[in-house]
Amino acid sequence: MSASRKYIVGIGGTLRAASSTEKTIRKVLDYAGQAGAETEMFSGADLDLPMYNPGPAEAPAAARMIAALRRADAIVIGSPGYHGGISGLVKNALDYTEEMSRDDRPYFSGRAIGCVATGAGWQGANATLQSLRSVAHALRGWPTSLGIALNSREPLFDEQGDPIHPEVDAQLRMLAAQLIGFPGVAA
């Protein structure tokens, strides 16, 4: 991989295929890919992992996700707002990053972290976005200046997964640009 080609990993969504959160992350990754980044997504069944138990990841899906995160230059994390916070599915996946604690570049050090949250109302989406940004900081990542909260009570995407509203599309494009433009920081 050349220095200019970034590898961006997306994590999030629900066990329901094509959730609004998953569509949001995928569209950010699509825009990053159009700009030359290599991308990989972990959503739905990819995140249906055993509850995290400290120690080496025994689940092959967890080991694959951790390997991708270790290689990542930037990460997009998305969660639906469940009762004012991050879903258990996404939080459990993030708990597996403890395996990266002793790496030369621990956790998300030196990586841009794009945070996106969806919710059936603005309160849950905004509270979840703030929680995701706090987790990104706790994992030593650099949350992008733009974080995205979307109200999923109204349709957000068409059948092809494209944003219906120009302002949502603009935010997703901007987040992709911020992930690609982040210079990285020494651990």
- Which residue type does 153 have? R
pLDDT of residue 84: 86
pLDDT at position 187, please? 40
pLDDT value of position 24:
98
Pair 148, 154: CB distance under 8 Å: no
Which sign does the torsion angle of CA 130, 135, 138, 142 carry?
negative
The CATH classification of domain 7-181, taken from the options 3.30.300.180, 3.30.1370.60, 3.40.50.620, 3.40.50.360 = 3.40.50.360
Predicted local distance difference test score (pLDDT) of residue 2: 41
In order along the chain (187 residues), what is the average pLDDT of each group of 10 residues? 76 93 98 97 96 88 97 98 94 96 96 97 96 97 97 94 96 97 66
Q: Where are the domains of the chain?
A: 7-181
162: Cα separation from own chain's centroid: 18
Q: What is the pLDDT of residue 58?
A: 85
